[in-house]
Amino acid sequence: MTASTSSIASRLEAAIGASQVTADPAVCADYAVDEIVPSVIAKPVSAEEVAEIVRFAAAENLAIIPSGARSKLAIGMPPSRYDIALDMTGLNKIAHYDPGDLTLSVDAGASFNDVAAPLYKQKQFLPLAVPFYFQSTIGGIIASGVDSSLRQAYGTARDFLIGAEFVNGSGSLTKSGGRVVKNVTGYDLHKLLIGSLGTLAVITRLNFRTFPLPPEDRGFVASFRTAEEALELRRLITESPLGPSSLELLSPQLMQLFFDAGKNSSEIPAAALDSLLPANSWHLCISVEGTSEVCDRSVRDLTQLATQASATNVHVLGLDDAEGPDLWHYIGQAVPMLLEASPSASIFKIAQLPSRLGVLLAKLSAIADQAALPQSLIARGCGVVYFALLPPVDDSDCLRRLAEAASAIFLLCAREGASATIPWCPTELKRSINIWGHPFTLSLEGRPDLALMRRLKSAFDPQNILAPDRLP
Amino acid sequence: MNPSLIRDLKKLLGSSAVLSLPEDLLLYQYDGSVEQGRPDAVVFPSSTEEVARIVKLAAKYNVPIVGRGAGTGLSGGALARTGGLMLVFARMNRILEIDIPNQRAVVQPGVVNYDITRAVEHAGLFYAPDPSSQKSCTIGGNVAENAGGPHTLAYGVTTNHVTALELVLPDGEIVRVGSKHGDAPGYDLCGLFVGSEGTLALVTEITVKLTRKPEAVKTLLTIFDAVDDASQTVVDITARAITPAACEMIDGWTLRAIEDYVHAGFPMDSAAVLLIEVEGLNEAVAAQAAAIDEVCRAHHAREVRTARDPQERELFWKGRKNAFGALGRLAPSSYVLDGVIPRSKLPQALRRIQEISQQYNFKIGNIFHAGDGNLHPIVLYDPRDPAQFDRAIAASNEIIRYCVEIGGALTGEHGVGMEKNELMPLIFSDADFDLMRRVHDAFNPDSSINPGKVFPLGKGCGEIRVRTQTAQTGPRA
């Protein structure tokens, strides 16, 4: 431990108590972000303590990165500085839950599971079953800005986050929004926190509207020879009166990964996925919910539409059946599964207008083939694609090919009017590629909204001590 | 105003696009609220480039600017509080692109809200946010205020339906934020600008989502003999997790005023009605309507009427949407509030409003979005009596204070503007104001765009010297 590290730790201890501060290098290593290890970990238990720590850091010009369960800390560019890891899991209470109002106010460090349980008791839920949700904190889910397949029906966090409390870079505890479902009092600053990766403020509390659990739900999988045919069914569904709760296109490679996962699972499912669904196919996986009459009608209509779109196979899953939860769990956790599938998995998040998805998917595939990299993808009905390049090894040749493919994908997306970022990739790759994509590497002149984002960053965090340079 | 600025503006836009005579300006000193603020000149740009040039000219002459759509706002958001230049978007009223497959429309700010729906309904789509003024209010104003409406209960407010904006910043720079697909990387700038009440930038182009029309709609008019029963019904509908597309409440007194005016067939002797709409698949609508019927009857509804056909549905809604106009026949002026409360507190809030009505001796009508707790008490008064105006404001403030006390907020959809800015400290601390001010200054550092709004005058944006025209000329006569 260096002298300066020990003095940071001891002064932090004076502020919030020794039990909440550690400079043990072994522990600090667990909080590394892109291989950069903080000097000290502080674990506040109140918003006031968070403010105290941020004021201390501002006075000493130390950089802070807040984190929860650290399941999504890999998202972002490497921080330019990182002194204090702010472990938010000590702020973990449900501050307010009024089932009758369908509103919830929860500390940022509360785990998703701890929040989901009392909601479930009241037959309610938060549509935030994002990648890693089972180990995530609510604050981490919001700060990382990840989405879930349920956005098809429920939207993303920006549609149901109704207020927040947070500590800005000056160490002031501030708030926006409130605990009511409709509110235009003051600027919607809480929306800025979604996907901000801790760069604007340390989130201490979040207010949501909650949703009633549907009485029933049903899964429907249609299989196709080509992505184009599967996308045709997507189009037919969006032009029908049906309102599916999720609508996900899986590439043949991704379904194969799910088949394999099913085989390796310790619990043997009632019927293995690969006996129910054809291999080497594109699959459109749809969930519907409502009364049993609504579910029956939806499945009937979906079957008809799938035939119209030349599906080679359709399969209905009661989501209570053994195979149902498996497939839907896999769909929700496709990102972690893909990350495990390769030592240098790189997963792009690409957003495109749905009508142009077919062209985009074909070109993405060609880029992966050209780079001789295995690929896999899941595309949401709204046009958001998670496209994975999965090199079998992590040697320098693979990294070079990843970097070339990434440049080609950024260029392709810029030409196609899509946006592309790389939320998950090896730290190594970030040394040659800006994961925020092609537009962000343009000059400020070509990307004026980037200048606005930087102005906002300065307004929230004038000294640039919060997760510096993780966002462009 | 500097005559050479007027000259420059006429040179830039043509004289038909510039108004500066006092008789021409009179109309523009009002909106739908009780506030006033007269601009020194009004200009009608036809393009984003003209907006940018006007903004630069105004900056050169150090004159503040306020943007305005149809002037139907209810918080003074589009009034020239400190005089200066008013930029009216009436000529920027083109729908630039309709993209049916991707369910998007790109429109100029002067497009009337309902005209978007009219342009896309042939494809089975509509634009969901539906403020009562939707046949006259513009989408630019909706974006500024983050406007709502009855059906936002199911569909969300303006911010949930806007994916991209083109902006002109106070220095004349043109910037695009968000994206047509709606998943732009980086901070959610679109989410910040929607609802910023024109205090950060001028919006010159808007990309909106289009929504698929439901297969079935059922409109229920439920009639109660006691206000408490009606409000308990709303609480119970929410608590039982029934999500209607709209759930509106009208009290008996307001109902009678509407019926005299609109002849919607509302019962003249009831204490309150709920106008509830359910939408979706045929099967879903049938089940929801049955569940709502059951809740209403459990709370002693006298009658549950279902609209027999689209014409009757239209009539029910005509009654609701013309309510403010109907009340205008009863008193020379009215003051519409917009407080929002946790939905479970509806019965006690309505009782408190009744008490305040008696205490101040004002008739206060209630017609509002019950389903999301967004109250619209309407205080009727005679503005020719200045003491009455002051009392009306005092009664209104007491209602808003109560909303905040029980966990609510100042405004659900009308905006803060220059009407509620002095009440903002009921919600926000000095630290909150400081951050909001820093965000404001990041875009609009000299308060050259829409000064004197949102922030309390003591705590906001630099040194704004505000001519309080309301105090000088009295409330709207």
Closest CA to B89 of B168, B23, B161: B168
User: How far apart, in whole angstroms, are the C-alpha atoms of residue A119 and residue A213?
Assistant: 9
Q: What is the CA radius of gyration of chain A?
A: 23
pLDDT at A4 over 80: no
pLDDT tens profile B136-146: 999 999 999 99
Q: Give the mean model confidence (pLDDT) for residues B346-371.
A: 94
| Lookup: tokens for A459 | 């307004």
pLDDT on residue B473: 36
Q: Give the mean model confidence (pLDDT) for residues A92-120.
A: 96
Collapsing DSSP to helix, strand or coil, A249 comes out as: strand
Give A126's DSSP letter. -
pLDDT at A425 over 80: yes
pLDDT on residue B321: 83
pLDDT on residue A5: 67
User: How far apart, in whole angstroms, are the C-alpha atoms of residue B475 and residue B382?
Assistant: 10
Using the beta-carbon criterion (under 8 Å), do A449 and B189 form an inter-chain contact?
Answer: yes
pLDDT at B93 over 70: yes
Cβ contacts of B440 on chain A, cutoff 8 Å: 187
Cβ contacts of B148 on chain A, cutoff 8 Å: 182, 184
Q: Which residue of A has its CA nearest to B125?
A: A239
ipTM surpassing 0.85, yes or no?
yes
Q: Is A243 on the interface with B (CB under 8 A)?
A: yes
Local confidence band at B477 (pLDDT 50, 70, 90 cut-offs) = very low
DSSP string, B434-451: HHHHHHHHHH-TT--BST
Kindly state the percentage of chain B with pLDDT values over 70.
96
pLDDT on residue A251: 98
pLDDT on residue A264: 75
Cβ contacts of A436 on chain B, cutoff 8 Å: 185-186
Q: Give the mean model confidence (pLDDT) for residues B119-128.
A: 98
Q: Give the mean model confidence (pLDDT) for residues A364-385.
A: 98
Local confidence band at B391 (pLDDT 50, 70, 90 cut-offs) = very high
* CB half-sphere exposure, B334, CA atoms < 13 A: 23
Kindly state the percentage of chain A with pLDDT values over 70.
94
Q: Give the mean model confidence (pLDDT) for residues B189-200.
A: 98
Among A390-404, B96-110, B227-241, name the one with the lowest average pLDDT.
B227-241
Least CB–CB distance from B175: residue in A192, A290, A452: A452
User: How far apart, in whole angstroms, are the C-alpha atoms of residue A47 and residue A16?
Assistant: 12
Using the beta-carbon criterion (under 8 Å), do B181 and A419 form an inter-chain contact?
Answer: yes
pLDDT tens profile A185-224: 999 999 999 999 999 999 999 999 999 999 999 999 999 9
User: How far apart, in whole angstroms, are the C-alpha atoms of residue B329 and residue B81?
Assistant: 28
pLDDT at A446 over 60: no
Q: Is A3 on the interface with B (CB under 8 A)?
A: no
Q: Residue A123: what residue type?
A: K
Least CB–CB distance from A294: residue in B102, B177, B281: B281
pLDDT at B460 over 90: no
By residue count, chain B amounts to 477
The partner residues of A87 in beta bridges, in order of sequence, read A67
Region of B62 please: left (phi>0), alpha (psi -120 to 50) or beta: left
Q: From the candidates A77, A103, A175, A185, which should be mutated to test the interface with B, based on the most B CB atoms within 10 A?
A: A185
Using the beta-carbon criterion (under 8 Å), do A239 and B212 form an inter-chain contact?
Answer: yes
pLDDT at A76 over 90: yes
Local confidence band at A440 (pLDDT 50, 70, 90 cut-offs) = low
Q: Name the average pLDDT for chain A.
A: 94
The partner residues of B460 in beta bridges, in order of sequence, read none
Q: From the candidates A50, A156, A166, A184, which should be mutated to test the interface with B, based on the most B CB atoms within 10 A?
A: A184
DSSP string, A312-367: SEEEEEETTSSHHHHHHHHHHTHHHHHHHH-TT-EEEEEE--GGGHHHHHHHHHHH
Q: Is A357 on the interface with B (CB under 8 A)?
A: no
Q: Name the average pLDDT for chain B.
A: 93
Cβ contacts of B215 on chain A, cutoff 8 Å: 241
Q: Is the separation of the CB atoms in B166 and B205 below 8 Å?
A: yes
Least CB–CB distance from A353: residue in B180, B187, B235: B180
pLDDT at A442 over 60: no
pLDDT tens profile B260-281: 888 888 889 999 999 999 999 9
Q: Is A124 on the interface with B (CB under 8 A)?
A: yes
Q: Residue A433: what residue type?
A: I
pTM here is 0.95
Cβ contacts of A471 on chain B, cutoff 8 Å: 186-187
Using the beta-carbon criterion (under 8 Å), do A155 and B372 form an inter-chain contact?
Answer: no
Kindly state the percentage of chain B with pLDDT values over 90.
85
Q: How many helices (H) and strands (E) does chain A have?
A: 17, 19
Q: Is A414 on the interface with B (CB under 8 A)?
A: no
Q: State which of A14-23, A367-376, B316-325, B452-461 shows the largest mean pLDDT.
A: A367-376
Local confidence band at B458 (pLDDT 50, 70, 90 cut-offs) = confident
**In B121-171, where does DSSP find H-type helix?**
139-145, 152-155
For helices A252-264 and A323-332, the axis angle rounded to 10 degrees is: 120
pLDDT on residue B319: 87
